[in-house]
Amino acid sequence: MRTFTFSEARRKLGTLLDMVEAEGEVRICRKDGQVFTIRPVEIIEAGRSPLDIPGVELGISADEIVDVIREGREQA
């Protein structure tokens, strides 16, 4: 894995990002010893929301869910 100093990473940001894309990870080291890893973010399918997740089958109806919510509101 390629390692850059903080100053080098600032000067060569475009090159650094190209290396991240090609190699998967790049490290940046500060003078104080802190080390950071830069990785590409997983790309979400085009047109799909990151909030679009599969549902969970609970075995209860929408009416039962509404009843539970109403009971909770009445108790509060």
Q: In order of start, what are the domains of the chain with their CATH numbers?
A: 1-40 (3.40.1620.10)
Q: Rounded to 5 degrees, what angle do the CA atoms 49, 55, 60 make?
A: 150
Number of H helices, E strands in the chain: 3, 3
CB of 40 closer than 8 Å to CB of 19: no
Whether residue 8 has pLDDT greater than 90: yes
Whether residue 7 has pLDDT greater than 70: yes
pTM of the predicted model as reported, rounded to 2 decimal places = 0.53
Long-range contacts at 67-76 (CB < 8 A, ≥ 24 apart): none
Query: pLDDT at position 61, please?
Result: 92
Cα separation, 15 vs 9, whole angstroms? 9
